[in-house]
Amino acid sequence: MKQFSEENTAFHRQIIFLSGNRQLVAIAPPLVDLALITRTYRKFSDERIRKSSSDHADLVQAFRRRDGMWAEAIMRSHILSSVELASKD
């Protein structure tokens, strides 16, 4: 789980960096802080980890196709599903 968490954090940080949006780069790192994400990942089933990885692969494809609408839809779904999971106790 630790390796997945570290790789996921690196993936999200790279997307933020590649956005070229200086304001996002300045404010987003705390949102992908490893400690925060690790707490959420403890709740992830193997199926949820596979879904997260699949979302990442789809996001890379959207970037390659330069399809901003698709990338936005993937990220919205990805974030909202994680928020829902994190809010469950």
pLDDT tens digits, residue range 9-41? 888 888 889 888 999 888 887 777 655 555 666
Query: Do 8 and 37 form a contact (C-beta atoms < 8 A)?
Result: yes
The model carries a pTM of: 0.72
Contact in structure between 43 and 86 (CB atoms under 8 Å): yes
Instruction: Kindly tell me if the per-residue pLDDT of 87 is higher than 70.
Output: no
At 71, the pLDDT band (50, 70, 90 cuts) reads very high
The full set of domain ranges for the chain reads: 2-87
Query: Mean pLDDT over residues 42-55, rounded?
Result: 85
Mean pLDDT computed over every residue of the chain: 83
